[in-house]
Homo-oligomer: A and B are copies of this chain.
Amino acid sequence: MKEDSKPYKWPSRTDSLGYMVNWAARLFAREMDEALRPFGLMSGQLPVIFALADGKTRSQRELVNLAAVEQSTMAKTLSRMERDGLIERKPDPNDRRSTTISLSPLMSVRLPEVAAAVAVINARSHTHLSEEEGERLLDLLHWAIKGLAERP
List A residues at the B interface (Cβ < 8 Å).
3, 6, 8, 10-11, 13-29, 31-32, 43, 46-47, 50-51, 61, 64-66, 68-69, 71, 118, 121-122, 124-129, 133-134, 136-138, 140-150, 152
A150 to B27, CA, bound (A): 11
Q: Which residue of B lies closest to A123 (CB)?
A: B147
Classify the secondary structure of A's interface with B: helix
Q: Is the CB of A3 within 8 A of B71?
A: yes
Which chain B positions have C-beta within 8 A of A8? 146
Nearest CB in chain B: distance from A131 CB, A: 12
Given A126-B144, A129-B144, 5 extra CB contacts under 8 A: A18-B122, A18-B125, A126-B147, A128-B143, A128-B147
